[in-house]
A and B are shown apart, each in its own frame.
Chain A
């Protein structure tokens, strides 16, 4: 570990363990998250994502491991840690008998925001999250998307340094999910807060996260940016090379003879599939050596979904630090 300096590090976790009823929910998890980074915890239900958030925010105690959040140990400094974090729980966790304004004010006061500052924060957030016109309606009358927007606003009421977002778009329809994605993107872009995002939504992770840890049985079986993870697996890469139309068949023959996998003619040139991106420059060089004019090379790398299923389809990782080297 210790890939980041202490000033760069928002979260440092080493060998984190938490048992429930004779079964480890988190089992030797080790991750580091940089300040300002959006870090995803990606995995199936029961992979240990929510438990990890609860451990990092000091509302659950750990059985083993070292944890530092914003320079503090949440097991010892639970309250100071929570004062600087905002949590979007899996369900909106809003009181439906209170209005939107009352919900925000209630949580604001619990986070120590009072008086004029609270009034201003509540008004700003209601405006920012498009709830100004419904501010004094009871939350029971809100749609799921509105509740989720309000819950997101609640996480920001005390201007935290760090956000934990647990399945922010679970149970939302596509339109509401898109709204929430746009809001998260906006505040990570504009405010550069550290965000830890739990999700089983691969598109969401790819869209929002700088790096992700793919979790399985309480362990991180892979950590990296979506692009790094994609490169790390030897999934087929499809490459399209644009050549003159009259040279397409010749190009396909050169690639076939060079052993670059199956190739086919496309509308503008030739495509071929290789196992791993290392073969791409060799294929392009072979065409260049044959005197073909190459106008464009485009490759379709495996996305996070491919990586996720490649890793989840693999046998359980060997015991050790709980991570595969990528």
Chain B
């Protein structure tokens, strides 16, 4: 493995992404929406409604028992904020590294084909493995920076505006740490594995992104499971989900790598 070559590809791809508005704009806007705007809207909305949260009581009734125990002793405003900011947003949070990695990964090979920069790259002495790994690592690292940075911003926002209402820190729990440091990297790896695989096979960024949009579906199912009370994301569930996602991600990456041939890329040019 040639680490210099891999690092060079990663550095170049991230520089190119940073200089492309079409790719970098969603990466900047998405975290602002999910980590700043939506939590603030929730805090303001819940605070404005105050104790008049009858419908929320009905929603709470279908939540799993362990979660309801977390809310004992809190008034309905605080309960709503904990439900939203600490529980529901843990899944919303995953959307950001997922979408970030998907946008960049879709651009990896497909974007190079569109920009007609791929041929010189495949004529370099970089091995197929290093080329593939470089293309995988760039979007994954970007997603991790956005995820960890976004988490820090999120913690600051919700604790600055939500914690005074709840009366305790928000999103500073082992569950959140597991989501950020274990589940989110796995989700990003799965998204990258799938999208780079697709990107190497289609002709353009839009096509890759549309096909790759399917990676959001499992997350939607997770959200529905959470909202309906079917799934309770405690530490063990997050850990187990993370393990499953990582296994799927590594399987997808392995499959993509094994079928990756620079010759196939060239024949699509």
Contacts and interface: CB of A to CB of B under 8 A. Distances in A.
A127 to B, nearest CB: 22
A89 B115 CA distance: 14
Contacts of B125: 78-80, 82-83, 110-112
B8 A98 contact: no
A110 B126 contact: yes
A114 B19 CA distance: 24
Contacts of A61: 263
**Interface size class, chain B:** 20 to 34
Interface of B: 4-5, 8-9, 12, 15-16, 19-20, 115-127, 262-263, 266-267
Contact of B16 (A60, A95, A107, A109): A95
Interface string A106-146: 11011110100000000000000000000000100000000
B137 to A, nearest CB: 15
A90 B123 CA distance: 12
A59 B123 CA distance: 7
Contacts of B262: 59
A84 to B, nearest CB: 8
A95 B263 contact: no
Contacts of B117: 93-95
**Interface size class, chain A:** 20 to 34
A174 B92 CA distance: 58
Given A79-B125, A79-B127, A106 B266 contact: no
Contact of A54 (B15, B16, B266): B266
B124 A111 contact: yes
A59 B15 contact: no
A73 interface: no
Nearest to B122: A59
B8 A106 contact: yes
A87 B120 contact: yes
A154 interface: yes
